[in-house]
Every structure is written in structure tokens, then in C-alpha cells.
Amino acid sequence: MRVSKSKFTVTSSKQELPITVVNDFNSPVKIKLTTRAINSKVVVRPTEAIEIPAKSKLQVLLPIEVLASGNSSLLTQLTNLDNKPIGFPVYISLKLSVISPVATWITSGAAVVLLIAAIIQSVRRFRRGKHER
């Protein structure tokens, strides 16, 4: 049993990360994925217990919430249903590039104003060109 090591770039404040869990055993296994963030930039929501078929991989969607941009990591550990560790813990690297909704609205508003100004300028030039003929 193991968690595949991976890196993610997170661009929204709430997201589900696809974490791949591998079962190398010849029988199905019921486990839990225990995860915690190494800093306060990310909040990790708990996941339900999962059953992985024998000799297979399964993607578990791990819900997270980003509180600040920057870098972070998640420490993931597979455990049995009694919370006893299975295998080794794995660090998952995160690059957090979340733009606040306020910044998005300001940027979008500025783009709309710029577009309107360009249209008005084009109409004025077109009219000025007609009158000069």
C-alpha cells in the first residue's frame, strides 16, 4: 500500500486534489487517507474510508481550501480503520497561486473600461474621417 508522490499547482481557493493510492496486495484493502498541511496556508478536509481492489490504483479526491498564496506541502499517511499507519508517509508539494476575487473583479473591470474606451476612440476616428472627405 502506498500513496504516489505528486506535485500540484492550485489556482482556486477550493479544490479537490486527485491523490493516487496503490494497492500492491493480492486482496482488496479498506483504508483511510490521513492528511495534514505543514503550514496554515491550506486547510485539508477529511476523506471517507476507501476500499481499493487487489493489485490496483485508485484516485481519491482530497478536498482542500487555500487561505494564502505561496508554497505548502501535505503530509499524507495511509492508515487502517483503527488509525494505525500503513506504509510510509508521503509529502505532496503544493504551489498555491490563488488570486483573490476582489483582484479578479478589479482586473476584469479595468479590462472592460479599456475595451469601451478603445471602441469610443475608434468610432470618433471613423466619424472624423468621414467629415474630412
- The CATH label, of 3.30.428.10, 2.60.40.10, 3.30.420.40, 2.40.110.10, for the domain at 2-98 is 2.60.40.10
- Asked whether the CA dihedral 63, 66, 69, 74 is positive or negative, the reply is negative
The domain limits of the chain are: 2-98, 100-133
∠ Cα 23 96 9 (to 5°): 50
- Asked whether the CA dihedral 33, 36, 41, 45 is positive or negative, the reply is positive
91, 75 contact by CB (below 8 A): yes
Phi, psi of 13 (to 5 degrees): -70, -30
**Could you state, in chain order, the average pLDDT of each consecutive group of 10 residues for the chain (133 residues)?**
93 94 95 96 94 96 94 96 94 90 85 96 87 66
∠ Cα 9 106 113 (to 5°): 125
| The pLDDT value given to residue 133 | 60
| The pLDDT value given to residue 105 | 85
Q: What is the pTM assigned to this prediction? A: 0.72
